[in-house]
């Protein structure tokens, strides 16, 4: 596996885990009602705002990384000889953008204050979540989130489609050995499934944003099932990569052989 792809996958897992943690403190934990009485005595403050800020900062990171991963894979397929020189330059651009763009999308919250907001039906009385007020005039988080989801999803699908076309052309190339084709096909199939798993955040959060903008009375019905989508989003990508990529299968096979050899009893020569 290319090290740049591996870096993107590790960054995706870190950002997904960070989003899961911050979102847990923003919605899931307050919705239990544990802190409702305490929140009623607390004035709006910047600490609540930071929780909201970090949730969407890492969410935008999670939306961007699948495109970065797909783009690097396309470069590897299109430039198989000199991609080791191209990918480091691309990463020098991608890594700063991974933090600059999410910060730009959430910077309007800097002057805002966070506070506890009551959830509606069908959740019980006392269920709350953390929201914000007082950001830059005219800026709304839901619109920014929807635009980012649509743009990043379109870019990711475009790169994935280009990659699949290139793979189909490579599979019909008679100058490549069958063993190389087989190993390459398995690795690319694994990464394709991984990309599909990475599309879950687009689907999960885009649906919730559209419902919030068009049918706000029904948004809390979707919040009930939202944690399941977050769990899948956090765990599925590294899990699928581990069970499908040939690199991990070879390591597991070597470990299995080593353990088998270690338990073979020594035959007596007497």
For residue 252, pLDDT beyond 60: no
What φ, ψ does residue 82 adopt, rounded to 5°?
Answer: -105, 15
Q: What average pLDDT is seen over the chain?
A: 80
pTM value is 0.80
Six-digit token pair at 181?
């084709």
- Computed from CA positions of residues 208, 52, 237, 32, in that sequence, does the dihedral angle turn out positive or negative? negative
Give the 3-state DSSP-derived string for 149-213, with helices as H, strands as E and coil as C.
HHHHHHHHHHHHHHHHHHHHHHHCCCCCCHHHHHHHHHHHHHHHHHHHHHCHHHHHHHHHHHHHH
d(CA 227, CA 220): 12
Which residues, 6+ apart, have CB-to-CB distance to 122 below 8 Å?
220, 221, 224
90-139 pLDDT per residue, tens: 999 999 999 999 999 999 999 999 999 988 877 788 889 999 998 888 88
Domain 3-247, CATH among 3.10.129.10, 3.40.50.300, 1.20.1070.10, 1.10.8.60: 1.20.1070.10
175-218 pLDDT per residue, tens: 666 666 666 676 667 667 766 776 776 777 788 888 888 888 78
Q: What are residue 132's DSSP bridge partners?
A: 114
Q: What pLDDT is attached to residue 181?
A: 64
């Amino acid at each position: 596996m290319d090290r740049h792809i591996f870096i993107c996958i590790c960054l995706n897992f870190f950002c997904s885990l960070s989003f899961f943690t911050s979102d847990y403190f923003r919605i899931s934990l307050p919705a239990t009602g544990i802190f409702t009485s305490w929140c009623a005595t607390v004035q709006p403050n910047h600490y609540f705002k930071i929780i909201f800020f970090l949730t969407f900062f890492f969410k935008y990171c999670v939306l961007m990384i699948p495109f970065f991963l797909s783009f690097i894979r396309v470069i590897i397929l299109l430039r198989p000889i000199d991609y080791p020189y191209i990918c480091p330059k691309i990463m020098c651009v991608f890594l700063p953008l991974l933090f600059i763009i999410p910060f730009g999308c959430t910077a309007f919250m800097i002057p805002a204050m966070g506070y506890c907001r009551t959830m509606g039906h069908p959740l019980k009385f006392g269920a709350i979540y953390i929201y914000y007020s007082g950001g830059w005039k005219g800026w709304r988080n839901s619109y920014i989130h929807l635009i980012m989801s649509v743009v990043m999803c379109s870019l990711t699908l475009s790169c994935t489609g280009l990659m699949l076309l290139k793979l189909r052309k490579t599979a019909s190339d008679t100058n490549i050995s069958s063993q190389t084709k087989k190993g390459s096909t398995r690795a690319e199939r694994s990464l394709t499934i991984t990309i599909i798993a990475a599309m879950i955040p687009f689907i999960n959060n885009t649906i919730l944003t559209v419902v919030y903008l068009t049918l706000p009375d029904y948004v809390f019905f979707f919040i009930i099932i939202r944690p399941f989508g977050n769990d899948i989003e956090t765990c599925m990508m590294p899990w699928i990569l581990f069970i499908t990529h040939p690199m991990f299968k070879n390591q597991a096979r070597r470990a299995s052989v080593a353990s088998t050899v270690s338990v073979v009893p020594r035959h007596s020569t007497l």
